[in-house]
Amino acid sequence: MDVLNIRVPASLAAQWRAWLAPPRQPFFLTAGEEERLGFPCLPRVEAAWTEVERDTFTVWRITQEADRVTWLTWNDWDALSPSVQRELLRLQVRHGRGNVPLGRHYADLLPGLPAERLLWRPEHLTPEVLARIVAADGQACQRAQVPQRVWEQAAPVLPRVRELAGTFSDGVGNCFGAVMGAAGVADAEGQWVVREPFEAFLRERARPGGRDDAPGTLLVWRSAAGSVQHAALTLGGGWAFEKPAQTWWTPRVVLPVRQLIKANRAPGQRLGRSVLNPA
């Protein structure tokens, strides 16, 4: 299976199915909705999330007032009346939960699928459906267009970038980890690297300057207050490498450097450049 010009092994596709159609799912409610619907809930602040659950259900996007959460298995879900199921799905969309697809967006791939909001079941998640879900907001990786000489020139300063370019994570990883992994930091690409260790990496391995047409220029976007928001790397020859977002469905891609910079423009953020020194 290919997604965004990236070959996806069967083992990873099986993980995606398990993440999108898990044996139990969270449903977010306000206190009033909990009382009205009668579901046993716990405070959202007491819930523990895996990295995959956080991404799949966009936990960071849940509205503040939906401060209660209930977990339902497939047996629990199937025991609900259709009207209660519809109400729960409507509330999840209102509260910002992810993984509540509209069936009509997949009608060409799954004839007979209801047009309204639904929950994915494992049997829905064919390779074609998985590819559409994962590719929905992504940009196709252009790794195959990078000349051999560009990879060779980048290798001294970015020893692992060719290995990581055009790959998906196994569920954990963000832009900072992808940059550090490409620069040779062991296993960084498979970690949730927060701002402090990334800033330490910048102090140790980078110095101000850099050109977009040279290998090893760190592109770092910061907020108006100076907080680092995103990072990418140039390969040279007009190419750049990044993991565009923190989510598990976001691959590590190669894009033309100007295209990458344009895609990352955001109000209130500024782009700075540093030269990455070899490890």
Q: Which two tokens stand for residue 13?
A: 């596709």
Could you report the per-residue pLDDT of 88-141, keeping only the tens digit for each?
999 999 999 999 999 999 999 999 999 999 999 999 999 999 999 999 989 999
pLDDT at 267: 95
The chain-wide mean pLDDT, for the chain, equals 97
Distance CA 83, CA 89 (A): 10
pLDDT at 137: 86
Distance CA 11, CA 1 (A): 11
Eight-class DSSP state of 102: B
**Helix, strand, or coil here: 118?**
coil
Could you report the per-residue pLDDT of 167-217, keeping only the tens digit for each?
999 999 999 999 999 999 999 999 999 999 999 999 999 999 999 999 999
Q: In one letter, which amino acid is 268?
A: G
Based on DSSP, count helices (H) and strands (E) in the chain, helices before strands.
11, 11
Q: Is 9 exposed, middle or buried (0-12, 13-18, 19+ CB in 10 A)?
A: exposed
**Ramachandran region, residue 236 (left: φ > 0; alpha: ψ -120 to 50; beta: rest):** left
Contact 224, 202 (CB under 8 A): no
Eight-class DSSP state of 278: P
pTM beyond 0.75, yes or no? yes
